[in-house]
Amino acid sequence: MTEEEWLQQVRELARLKGWLNYHTRSSRRSDPGFPDLVLVRGDRLIFAELKREKGRLTESQRIWLEALGATDAESYIWRPSDWERVEEVLA
């Protein structure tokens, strides 16, 4: 599964579960490392970095996720093998 296919699968589930979701299509002019998805529903805010099974985080992605994890927002790294967990989080 490509990262783009994985992204579309997660976004579709999020839409079905009532989450607003945002993904920057072209990050070339954005600061590096910001997570792939921002999801909001009710009082919950999730930042998710999506990776292929063997994909690695960049240093800037790690820094962003650590900083976001120190807040009340939820932050995740999701891979296709995490599908059941993704379904639980977005339920």
Residues 6+ apart with CB under 8 A from 72: 45
82: domain CATH number is 3.40.1350.10
Tokens matching residue 69: 């994890």
pLDDT of residue 25: 76
Residues 6+ apart with CB under 8 A from 53: 79, 80, 81
pLDDT of residue 24: 85
For each of the chain's 91 residues, which pLDDT tens digit applies?
A: 888 999 999 999 999 999 999 998 766 677 889 999 999 999 999 999 999 999 999 999 999 999 999 999 999 999 999 999 999 999 9
The total number of structural domains in the chain stands at 1
The residue segments making up the domain with residue 65 are 3-90
pLDDT of residue 66: 95
Beta strand 37-41 with 44-50 is antiparallel
17 CB-contact burial (10 Å; exposed 0-12 / middle 13-18 / buried 19+)? middle
